[in-house]
């Protein structure tokens, strides 16, 4: 029996498939080993998704999806078999057998063991250097950065002295130059230049794999030397695009409350761990890669990207946002934390841990970061600028692989574009602004021609009568509307309607419920004339029209409330300032209504 086969058997006895699926699906126990719930792979109203512990299998009688724990993690979270293996092992504190034992020949395994030995011995030597007299400046630097001895020990921080052949001379009787070159500890220029140590006069940070083996190093210069940081080059044991610094420690600290915190550098990671934020990790001198994103998404809590509060940090965040957008989905989210100007995670957490903790709760979602970057990059002064912004939005959205997410982003950006252009005074809502065959109608929501509040309410309800399939998409907005007395019963009935989502089926059901009078009220010719988008067949355009009416109604109601509050304030305190304020609000409200007549 191979090491992997034995490990899989042991793993299956320590973890139940229901424990994995419960994070995504609300399961109800059927009997001792069986659960049932709503299928996460298709929409359904009654549970047909069965989960069986013991056998560690799932099966949906609705869509036919079935498999074991590994299949579930692959289908639901996009993990490979190896990624799922490590994820499950982490849940129960098991250590996955070294891949070498089941993927490499004996000769390859021997060579890999030799590389790990060289790297481990080098790490020990660097740690010893830090404690000697030659490491005094490095120790003073760590003291200045308030890195505790416990953290120095945990992360195995070390030091290499100045000199071109310290490491080569140390190991010359034990390892060949070729072996040192292979693991990235020695550099050699073109031609027949003499090999030299890659790291010289630097504070050293070992880089670990999941099994805590040293696989590479990063070095920070202590003086005015460029570059400030250098890393090992890619080797058979190390690929910087596949490794996150600190991941070996952080992955063991994940919970249902805390996901990964992604920062920029070694000391940011170490400082956050020291202050209790033990899920911090960092890419190794490179932008966040596709593999990094997949690694972060193994955990169900979305990661937080928290880069430095300077221009470079902001650019890194935007670059990561745009790069990851292609994978955006309900299971693949990224959130971003933007620190105060000129602060980084290390500096802020040391000044005020509570403030840093609060900043982590004030994150921005991926969509907001991308939108904000777009309107900063493309100044809008001309119609051509508008077209350029639309084009950039369209290109970004087209990359998204998940179709549901792509549709949601398209709608999100369309609403953003509409509101943004309107705020710049570049979108008109005057009468006859709507054109049935306008080529831009799919991008720009269509506004009504008149705007008494009850007319707005009738238009919203009429839209759902003509297009019942939209009801589930606007439920949240409907619940926020305080419909007037003669329309509230129809609104309540529409929200509870579960029949066939066609206009005629809904009308038939409504008439049987005694709502014919209300229906005729909201689909009158007068209402339909004021909302031309209602009769369109394009569901996307109809939804955008509905949401624009909703937004306008919400805006007017807020204005009404502000006018009421200003009136109360004037009543209590008859000052010129309060009188001016109420006149300003009334003027704004009047103009807003006139713009849609």
* Cβ atoms of residues 199 and 233 within 8 Å: no
Strand partners, 35: 29, 51
Which tokens in the block code for residue 221? Answer: 């210069």
The pLDDT of residue 135 is 96
In this structure, the strands spanning 214-221 and 202-208 are: antiparallel
The CATH-assigned architecture of domain 3-92 is Alpha-Beta Complex (3.90)
Confidence band, pLDDT 50/70/90 cuts, at residue 247: very high
In CATH terms, 244-371 corresponds, of 3.40.50.1220, 3.40.1360.10, 2.60.40.790, 3.40.50.300, to 3.40.1360.10
* Cβ atoms of residues 461 and 487 within 8 Å: yes
Could you report the per-residue pLDDT of 308-364, keeping only the tens digit for each?
Answer: 998 888 998 999 999 999 999 888 899 999 999 989 999 999 999 999 999 999 999
Query: In terms of pLDDT, which residue wins out, 530 or 178?
Result: 178
Provide the percentage of residues in the chain whose pLDDT is more than 90: 37
Please state the rounded mean pLDDT for residues 190-209. Answer: 88
The residue whose two tokens read 């909302």 is 531
Q: Burial-class residue 105 by CB neighbours within 10 Å (0-12, 13-18, 19+).
A: exposed
The pLDDT of residue 99 is 59
Confidence band, pLDDT 50/70/90 cuts, at residue 191: low
How many helices (H) and strands (E) in the chain?
Answer: 27, 17
Mean pLDDT of the chain: 83
Confidence band, pLDDT 50/70/90 cuts, at residue 279: very high
**Dihedral (CA of 335, 341, 344, 348) sign:** negative
Give backbone dihedrals phi and psi of 413, rounded to 5 degrees, phi first.
-70, -35
Give the distance, in angstroms, between the CA of residue 174 and the centroid of all CA atoms in the same chain. 48
Radius of gyration for the alpha carbons in the chain, expressed in angstroms and rounded: 31
CA distances from 364 to 32, 200, 376 (A): 43, 41, 16
Could you report the per-residue pLDDT of 434-474, keeping only the tens digit for each?
Answer: 333 333 333 333 333 333 457 888 999 999 999 998 988 88
The pLDDT of residue 1 is 41
Strand partners, 218: 205, 231
Fold classified for 106-238: DNA primase DNAg catalytic core, N-terminal domain (3.90.980)
| Rounded Cα–Cα distance for residues 586 and 562 (Å) | 9
Q: Would you tell me the crossing angle of helices 366-377 and 383-398 to the nearest 10 degrees?
A: 150
The pLDDT of residue 190 is 58
The pLDDT of residue 98 is 67
Could you report the per-residue pLDDT of 473-499, keeping only the tens digit for each?
Answer: 888 788 778 788 788 889 888 888 888
Query: In terms of pLDDT, which residue wins out, 32 or 471?
Result: 471
Could you report the per-residue pLDDT of 419-436, keeping only the tens digit for each?
Answer: 788 777 654 333 333 333
The pLDDT of residue 439 is 34
pLDDT at 589 over 70: no
The pLDDT of residue 167 is 95
Q: Which of 381, 402, 260 is closest to 327 using CA atoms?
A: 402
Query: In terms of pLDDT, which residue wins out, 405 or 258?
Result: 405
CA distances from 579 to 558, 564, 583, 586, 592 (A): 19, 13, 6, 11, 20
Confidence band, pLDDT 50/70/90 cuts, at residue 569: confident
In this structure, the strands spanning 49-52 and 186-187 are: unpaired
First CA to last CA distance, the chain: 80
Q: Count Cα neighbours of 508 within 13 Å in the Cβ-side half-sphere.
A: 7
Could you report the per-residue pLDDT of 529-560, keeping only the tens digit for each?
Answer: 888 888 787 888 888 888 888 887 877 777 77
Give backbone dihedrals phi and psi of 420, rounded to 5 degrees, phi first.
-65, -50
Verify cis geometry, omega within 30 degrees of 0, for the bond prior to 422.
Answer: no
In this structure, the strands spanning 196-197 and 202-208 are: unpaired
pLDDT at 302 over 80: yes
3-state secondary structure of 532: helix
pLDDT at 145 over 90: yes
Q: Which of 20-29, 63-72, 302-311, 423-432 has the lowest mean pLDDT?
A: 423-432
Q: Which stretches of 316-427 are assigned E, i.e. beta strand?
A: 335-338, 364-365
Q: Which of 214, 231, 223 is closest to 265 using CA atoms?
A: 231
Q: Which of 234, 230, 212 is closest to 221 using CA atoms?
A: 230
List the 57-60 sheet strands across, edge first: 28-29, 34-37, 49-52, 57-60, 66-68
The pLDDT of residue 570 is 65
* Cβ atoms of residues 164 and 196 within 8 Å: yes
* Cβ atoms of residues 246 and 295 within 8 Å: no
Of 127-131, 379-383, 458-462, 502-506, which has the strongest mean pLDDT? 127-131
| Rounded Cα–Cα distance for residues 299 and 220 (Å) | 31
Confidence band, pLDDT 50/70/90 cuts, at residue 133: very high
Query: In terms of pLDDT, which residue wins out, 339 or 29?
Result: 339
Query: In terms of pLDDT, which residue wins out, 261 or 508?
Result: 261
Query: In terms of pLDDT, which residue wins out, 138 or 430?
Result: 138
* Cβ atoms of residues 556 and 487 within 8 Å: no
| Rounded Cα–Cα distance for residues 202 and 187 (Å) | 16
* Cβ atoms of residues 506 and 497 within 8 Å: yes
Please state the rounded mean pLDDT for residues 174-199. Answer: 87
Long-range contacts for 512-518 (Cβ within 8 Å, ≥24 apart)? 515/489, 515/490, 518/486, 518/487, 518/489, 518/490
* Cβ atoms of residues 422 and 509 within 8 Å: no
Q: Burial-class residue 32 by CB neighbours within 10 Å (0-12, 13-18, 19+).
A: exposed
The pLDDT of residue 364 is 94
């Amino acid at each position: 029996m191979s090491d992997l086969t034995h490990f899989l058997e042991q793993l299956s006895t320590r973890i139940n498939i229901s424990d994995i699926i419960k994070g995504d699906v609300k399961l109800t126990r059927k009997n001792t080993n069986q659960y049932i719930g709503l299928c996460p792979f298709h929409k359904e109203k009654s549970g047909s998704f069965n989960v069986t512990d013991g056998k560690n299998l799932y099966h949906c009688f609705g869509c036919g999806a079935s498999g074991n724990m590994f299949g579930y993690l692959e289908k639901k979270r996009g993990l490979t078999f190896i990624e799922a293996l490590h994820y499950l092992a982490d849940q129960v504190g098991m250590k996955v057998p070294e891949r070498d034992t089941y993927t490499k020949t004996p000769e390859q395994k021997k060579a890999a063991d030799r590389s790990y030995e060289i790297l481990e011995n080098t790490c020990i030597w660097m740690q010893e250097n830090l404690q000697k007299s030659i490491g005094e400046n490095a120790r003073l630097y760590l003291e200045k950065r308030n890195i505790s001895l416990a953290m120095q020990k945990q992360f195995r921080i070390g030091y290499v002295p100045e000199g071109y052949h310290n490491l080569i001379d140390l190991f010359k009787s034990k390892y060949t130059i070729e072996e040192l070159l292979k693991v990235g500890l020695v550099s050699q220029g073109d031609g027949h230049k003499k090999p030299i140590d890659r790291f010289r006069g630097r504070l050293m940070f070992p880089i670990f794999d999941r099994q805590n083996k040293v696989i590479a190093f990063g070095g920070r210069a202590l003086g005015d030397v460029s570059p400030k940081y250098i890393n090992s080059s890619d080797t058979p044991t190390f690929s910087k695009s596949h490794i996150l610094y600190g991941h070996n420690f952080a992955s063991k600290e994940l919970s249902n409350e805390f996901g990964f915190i992604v920062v920029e550098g070694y000391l940011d990671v170490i400082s956050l761990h020291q202050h209790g934020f033990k899920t911090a990790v960092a890419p190794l001198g490179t932008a966040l890669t596709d593999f990094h994103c997949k690694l972060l998404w193994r955990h169900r809590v979305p990661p937080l990207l928290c880069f430095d509060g300077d221009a470079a940090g902001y650019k890194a965040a935007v670059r990561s946002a745009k790069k990851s957008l292609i994978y955006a989905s309900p299971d693949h989210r990224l959130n971003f934390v933007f620190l105060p100007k000129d602060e980084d995670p290390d500096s802020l957490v040391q000044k005020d841990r509570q403030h840093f903790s609060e900043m982590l709760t004030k994150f921005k979602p991926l969509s907001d970061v991308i939108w904000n970057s777009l309107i900063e990059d493309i100044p809008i002064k001309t119609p051509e600028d508008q077209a350029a912004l639309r084009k950039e939005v369209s290109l970004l959205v087209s990359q998204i692989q998940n179709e549901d997410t792509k549709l949601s982003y398209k709608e999100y950006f369309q609403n953003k574009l509409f509101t943004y252009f309107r705020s710049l005074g570049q979108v008109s809502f005057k009468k006859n602004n709507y054109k049935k065959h306008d080529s831009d109608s799919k991008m720009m929501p269509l506004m009504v021609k008149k705007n008494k509040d009850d007319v707005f309410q009738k238009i919203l309800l009429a839209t759902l009568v003509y297009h019942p399939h939209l009801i589930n998409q606007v439920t949240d907005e409907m619940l926020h509307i305080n419909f007037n007395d003669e329309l509230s019963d129809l609104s309540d009935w529409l929200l509870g309607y579960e029949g066939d989502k066609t206009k005629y089926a809904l009308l038939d059901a409504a008439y049987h419920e005694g709502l014919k009078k209300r229906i005729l009220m909201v689909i009158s010719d007068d209402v339909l004339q004021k909302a031309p988008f209602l009769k369109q067949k394009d569901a996307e355009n109809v939804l955008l029209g509905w949401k624009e009416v909703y937004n306008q109604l919400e805006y007017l109601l807020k204005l009404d409330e502000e006018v009421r509050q200003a009136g109360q304030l004037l009543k209590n305190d008859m000052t010129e300032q309060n009188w001016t304020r109420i006149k300003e609000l009334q003027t704004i409200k009047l103009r807003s209504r006139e713009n849609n007549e």
